Structure 1
Amino acid sequence: MLDQLVAAAGAALVAAMATDTWERSRGAVVSLWQRAHPERAETIEAELAEVRDEVLSARGTADEETEQALVADWQRRLRRLVRDDPRLADELRRVLDEALIPALPPAAQDRVAQISIKATTSGHGRTTILGQGTQHNH
């Protein structure tokens, strides 16, 4: 589940960089880092600005390879952040749900928000999974 959260957050972060509402999203991401590593918040803020320029350039030239490399880089950073302080997983979920996904156009929201859930029940057990949005059962 953590890998899916980090994957979604990294993809949403990079996608949000190309939106007009990036400043709000950026603030939420910097705040997340501020909690874990206050001494690095300023550096992260500067790195986010640099990466945004790279994302905008990649989008302008339809360079999907560069954009995917940036997504992978931020997924790695977020994974390390949450690994170092597992309590930040809930905060990362909040940033994803409240700041990153809402910043995206609807089609991008659907791509980023897809999360797979696999439940196995044995014996006489019951499994209940609640979710929102479009759900596909296979």
Structure 2
Amino acid sequence: MDAELTSFAQAAGTTLVTLMTTEAWQHARDSFTRMWQRWQPERAQDISRALDVSQEEVLRAHSADDQEMLGELRMQWVGYLRRLLLSDPEAIEDLRTLLSEFSPHADASAPSVTQHGTASGRARIYQAGRDMHINER
């Protein structure tokens, strides 16, 4: 169970840090704070402040394309979430529900991308749901 919990905390931490750069951030922040309030009320205020500080750091790192800092921030939140889940395993369902609320499939305004490609011979196909940079020489 510990490996599964760690894997779930990693996915949740990554999602949380990603949300910090989106328009959904304020709602996500409030939801994460409420989750901590339910499971560890004595830590909720500190977590709320940490979320605010982390979001500022994520935005700076994102604009500077500082992948190392973004990785450190993801790991920080993986740690917070893992400790929460280890001390209160029942919080897993709360966190699962919270994350599903912010998944791309839950957002009706998120564009849907479907791609199909067929190539034959020496043909090449390049597909992307967003930006793509190709440097052929």
Same fold, TM-score > 0.5, yes or no: yes
Matched, 1:38 2:46: no
Q: Which has the larger radius of gyration?
A: 2
Matched, 1:70 2:73: yes
Identify unmatched segments of 5+ residues in structure 1: 108-138
Aligned residue for 1:86, secondary structure, equals coil
Spell out, residue by residue over 1:5-29, the C-alpha distance to the aligned partner (whole angstroms, 9 max, x if none): 1111000000100111101111111
Unaligned runs of at least 5 residues, structure 2:
113-137
**Pairing partner for 2:16 from 13, 18, 22:** 13
| In 1: Cα distance, 2:85 partner to 2:111 partner | 27
- 2:52 is matched with 49
Distance 1:21 1:95 in 2: 13
Match of 2:95 among 88, 92, 97: 92
SS, match of residue 23 in structure 2: coil
Higher relative contact order (CA 8 A, sep 6+): 1
**Can you list the C-alpha shifts for 1:79-102, whole angstroms capped at 9, x where unaligned?**
000000110011111111113x34
Instruction: Kindly report the root-mean-square deviation, in angstroms, between the aligned alpha carbons of the 2 structures.
Output: 2.0
Q: What is the CA distance between 1:106 and its match in structure 2?
A: 6.9
More helix by share: 1
Could you give the per-residue CA deviations for residues 62-88 of structure 1, whole angstroms, max 9, x where no partner exists?
Answer: 000000000001001100000001100
Identity of aligned residues (%): 38
CA distance in structure 2 between the aligned counterparts of 1:6 and 1:94, rounded to whole angstroms: 14
Which of 80, 83, 88 is residue 80 of structure 1 equivalent to?
Answer: 83
- Amino acid in structure 2 at the alignment position of 1:14: V
Match of 1:121 in 2: none
Identify which range, 49-58 or 38-47, moves more after superposition.
38-47
